[in-house]
Amino acid sequence: MQLGAASLVAAEARAGSTTIQGRHRARDLGIRIGRMPTGPKNGITDVTGVEVGHATIIRGEGALEIGKGPIRTGVTAIWPHRGIVDEFLPCGIDAPNGNGELSGMLQAKRMGVLNSPICLTNTSSVGMVYDALQTLQPKDLRPAGTPVVGETWDAELNDTVGRHVTSEHVIEALKNANSGPVTEGAVGGGTGMICYEYKGGIGTASRLVESNTESYTVGALVQANHGARALLRIDGVAVGAELAARNKPEISPDLNSIIMIVATDAPLLSHQLDRLSRRATHGLAKTGSISGNGSGDFTMAFSTGNRVPRDAFYGSTAYQLQSIEQFQLGPYLEAVSESIEEAIVNALCMAEDMTGINGNFVPALPLVQTIDLMRKHGRIAGTGHE
Amino acid sequence: MSRPTLFRTIDLPYCQALMLESWNAAPGRFFVAYRANGNFNALLGQGVVDEFRTISGPIFLAPAESIGGVYDAGMKLADARDEEAPIDQGWPPFTIGIDTRSPDRPDDWQDRLLDALKTEQSADKPPWSSNFSSARTDDYIVESSSLVSDGVTAANILVTDAPMLPSQLDRLAGLSKASISVAVSVGNRLPRLPGGEKHQVDVISEAQLDAVIRAASSPD
């Protein structure tokens, strides 16, 4: 495997440097998950038409005063494409453990389409965000689309009960959305999230599925708020178990949740996207999650390769979609697993230390120690990946 | 009494098969959905239908205590098409158990079943009654075979030429209170495609689906 654009960070790490400035994505640290090529941005926005934006709210410090703060939360908005309320996309879902909320699942299951932007936020803000998204729907005699809002619980760091997310934040995130590289870590809906007892949040990654004649992209975005540190694995290395022994966590969150969004430009049908959704769990599991009893783990996958105009969906004649042959779906399933796994690791690598309500401190994943462990186990590029 | 046009029923004393096409048709699949109610649990071939949402080959109905043997016969039929058992040539046999006693079977019952499927010739009736009904929308036909055993609707098989996706068929299958309800669309036949080619799949609109559901709920 090619090392690619080996970053200064990775070069320093190989040279035994003990300092890494700032936060860096997994690949920039030399961690190379899987075997498939990434898209140019290695993110969900590699899927043409997909745009991502955040509204991040960080205010106050000290003791929790419900309604006042401290606030560590926000909204992450995903436009599957800008015209989604008028031009639906096939979608599929999965819920490896359903102790949470991802609205729109019933529509996805029964009608097989997505007709709303997707927003990710904290648990208490689902209704507010849903309400804001409803205002985007066309006002006519046909059924309105169903907003898709996913949540994870940020009450370790955020005044979640205070409900600081407003419709203005939803609009801000939607307006901020663009097709450039996705800002990762403690941003948007991921601001107050904790992953494997390190600071978590938003992560993204992508893979290219290439055949002799065509190339399609599979992209993933996660809001990662799950897992026990001792279970964390990065590219197969039991990083969490080794780090836990030398870096005892300050807090012990329950086995929380993750929302996983998968996008592809491959022309797929809803039941095929159900299959892709199920493979997200494989990527999640490779980072060490067992989808604990208390977790709300959900996946939604959509395809921009088939578009269903609202007029056709509710019209009086049949319409036509394309579908990749089932026998050729294997690489897409692998791409989902790899993208989700790397997106989670990116969330960990990019998130910084955070102190929230009541002085609760959540450390960032220690990159130097992590790289040392990866190198020790031969998983850093230059020591076993070529 | 009207007869089905979208499928053929092959009757034997110990089995009934609904054939959507000839036993050795070229590789291909149809979208399918099912819904089980109550404590129904006698079903084989479920995994592939759940994963791929398609069916190829006959739908087998048999007394619950004999679905293993009928499934095995279905496997032999699939083997005769392709020993690799691809999902577009009759594997796995979708086999539904009916809550009734199995009649005595002759020693060569599997051979008789395979012959009947290949020649599409029925023999005696199975130990349940089948009620056929048909309904039309402006565009499509919905046909159903309802199996009544001991006064209970044990299975309801809906076949339509409306081109429907699995999620739409889920809604159709959900209409029936039978122990198990199956809905198949023959409106899209998915052939095996060479690499790179894509299926062109027709899909009915919500308004057309409403009409199909109304028709299925009020057969002629």
Q: How high is the pLDDT of residue A6?
A: 43
Asked if A146 contacts A85 with a C-beta cutoff of 8 angstroms, the reply is: no
Residue B70 lies in a domain: yes
Q: CA-CA distance, A237 to A231, in Å (whole number)?
A: 10
Q: CA-CA distance, A140 to A6, in Å (whole number)?
A: 54
Q: Which amino acid is at A159?
A: D
Q: For residue B21, what are the contacts with CB-CB under 8 A and spacing of at least 6? A: B28
Q: CA-CA distance, A88 to B126, in Å (whole number)?
A: 47
Q: How high is the pLDDT of residue A211?
A: 77
**Chain B closest-CA separation from residue A112 CA (Å):** 6
Is it the case that residue A385 has pLDDT exceeding 70? Answer: no
Which of B52, B193, B207 is closest, CB to CB, to A315? B207
Q: CA-CA distance, A182 to A218, in Å (whole number)?
A: 15
Residues from chain A that touch B209, judged by Cβ atoms under 8 A, are none
Stretch among A10-14, A22-26, A39-43, A375-379 having the lowest mean pLDDT: A10-14
Residue B44 lies in a domain: yes
User: Each residue of A97-137: pLDDT tens digit?
Assistant: 999 999 999 999 999 999 999 999 999 999 999 999 999 99
Q: CA-CA distance, A265 to A288, in Å (whole number)?
A: 29
Query: Which residue, among A65, A357, A23, has the nearest Cα to A192 in the 3D structure?
Result: A357
Which of A214, A269, A328 is closest, CB to CB, to B201? A269
CA end-to-end span of chain A:
5
3-class state of residue A173 by DSSP: helix
Q: What is the mean pLDDT of chain B?
A: 94
Using a pLDDT cut of 90, give the percent of chain A over it: 86
Query: Which residue, among B152, B113, B159, has the nearest Cα to B132 in the 3D structure?
Result: B159
**Chain A closest-CA separation from residue B107 CA (Å):** 39
Listed in order, strand segments (DSSP E) in A61-129 are 71-79, 87-98, 113-114, 118-122
Q: How high is the pLDDT of residue A8?
A: 45
Is there a contact between A325 and B199 if contact means CB atoms under 8 Å apart? Answer: yes
User: Each residue of B79-128: pLDDT tens digit?
Assistant: 999 998 899 999 999 999 999 988 889 999 999 999 999 999 999 899 99
The two three-digit tokens of residue B144, written as one number: 């159903």
Q: For residue A215, what are the contacts with CB-CB under 8 A and spacing of at least 6? A: A208, A209
The catalytic residue among A257, A291, A303, A337 is A257
Residues from chain B that touch A111, judged by Cβ atoms under 8 A, are 167, 206
Using a pLDDT cut of 70, give the percent of chain B over it: 99
Residue B152 lies in a domain: yes
3-class state of residue A52 by DSSP: strand
DSSP B110-158: HHHHHHHHHHT---SPPSSEEEEEEEE-SS-EEEEEEEEETTEEEEEEE
Is it the case that residue A286 has pLDDT exceeding 90? Answer: yes
Which of A308, A318, A324 is closest, CB to CB, to B198? A324
The two three-digit tokens of residue A124, written as one number: 């208490």
Beta bridge partners of B96: B43, B61
Q: How far is CA A335 from the centre of its chain?
A: 15
Asked if A1 contacts A204 with a C-beta cutoff of 8 angstroms, the reply is: no
CB contacts < 8 A, A to B, total 84
Domain ranges of chain A: 33-367
Residue B42 lies in a domain: yes
B75-108: buried (b, 16+ CB within 10 Å) or exposed (e) per residue? bbbbeebeeeebbbbbbbbbbbbbbbebeebeee
**Chain A closest-CA separation from residue B207 CA (Å):** 6
The residue of chain B with its CA nearest to that of A269 is: B165
Residue B3 lies in a domain: no
Domain with B129 in it: 8-192+200-217
DSSP-derived letter for residue A290 is -
* Burial class, A21, CB count within 10 angstroms (exposed 0-12 / middle 13-18 / buried 19+): exposed
Q: How far is CA A222 from the centre of its chain?
A: 1
Residue B48 lies in a domain: yes
- HSE-CB of A345 using CA atoms within 13 angstroms: 36
Q: CA-CA distance, B141 to B144, in Å (whole number)?
A: 10
Residue B21 lies in a domain: yes
Is it the case that residue A289 has pLDDT exceeding 50? Answer: yes
Using a pLDDT cut of 90, give the percent of chain B over it: 88
**Chain A closest-CA separation from residue B148 CA (Å):** 29
3-class state of residue A90 by DSSP: strand
Residue B2 lies in a domain: no
Q: How high is the pLDDT of residue A386?
A: 37
- Rounded to two decimals, the pTM is 0.93
**Other Cβ atoms within 10 Å of B46 Cβ, number:** 13
DSSP-derived letter for residue A344 is H
- HSE-CB of A133 using CA atoms within 13 angstroms: 31
CATH code at position B123: 3.60.70.12
Query: Which residue, among B67, B86, B70, B66, has the nearest Cα to B78 in the 3D structure?
Result: B86
CA end-to-end span of chain B:
11
The two three-digit tokens of residue B107, written as one number: 């020693």
Q: CA-CA distance, A43 to A159, in Å (whole number)?
A: 30
Angle between the A239-246 and A367-376 helix axes, to the nearest 10 degrees?
Answer: 130
Asked if A195 contacts A348 with a C-beta cutoff of 8 angstroms, the reply is: yes
Torsion of CA A108, A113, A114, A120, to 10 degrees: 20
User: Each residue of A63-90: pLDDT tens digit?
Assistant: 999 999 999 999 999 999 999 999 999 9
Q: Which of B199, B202, B209, B210 best tests the A interface by mutation, with the highest count of A CBs <10 A?
A: B199
Q: For residue A245, what are the contacts with CB-CB under 8 A and spacing of at least 6? A: none
Residues from chain A that touch B171, judged by Cβ atoms under 8 A, are 110
Q: Cα-atom radius of gyration of chain B, to the nearest Å?
A: 16
Q: CA-CA distance, A168 to B153, in Å (whole number)?
A: 55
Residue A297 annotated in active site: yes
Asked if B143 contacts B156 with a C-beta cutoff of 8 angstroms, the reply is: no
Confidence tier at A293 by pLDDT (50, 70, 90): confident
User: Each residue of A199-249: pLDDT tens digit?
Assistant: 999 999 999 999 767 899 999 999 999 999 999 999 999 999 998 766 665
Asked if A279 contacts A330 with a C-beta cutoff of 8 angstroms, the reply is: no
CA geometry: angle A72, A73, A77, nearest 5 deg: 155
- Topology of the domain covering A33-367: L-amino peptidase D-ALA esterase/amidase (3.60.70)
Chain A residues within 8 Å of chain B (Cβ atoms)? 109-112, 211-214, 267, 269-271, 275, 308, 312-328
3-class state of residue A101 by DSSP: coil
The two three-digit tokens of residue B151, written as one number: 């006064």
**Chain A closest-CA separation from residue B158 CA (Å):** 18
Residues from chain B that touch A270, judged by Cβ atoms under 8 A, are 165-167
Residues from chain B that touch A214, judged by Cβ atoms under 8 A, are 196
Asked if A200 contacts A193 with a C-beta cutoff of 8 angstroms, the reply is: yes
**Residues in chain A, overall count:** 386
Q: What is the number of domains present in chain B?
A: 1
Asked if A31 contacts A235 with a C-beta cutoff of 8 angstroms, the reply is: yes
DSSP A209-266: EE-SS-EEEEEEEEEEE---GGG--BTTB-HHHHHHHHS--S----S-EEEEEEEE-S
Q: How high is the pLDDT of residue A362?
A: 94
Residue A179 annotated in active site: no
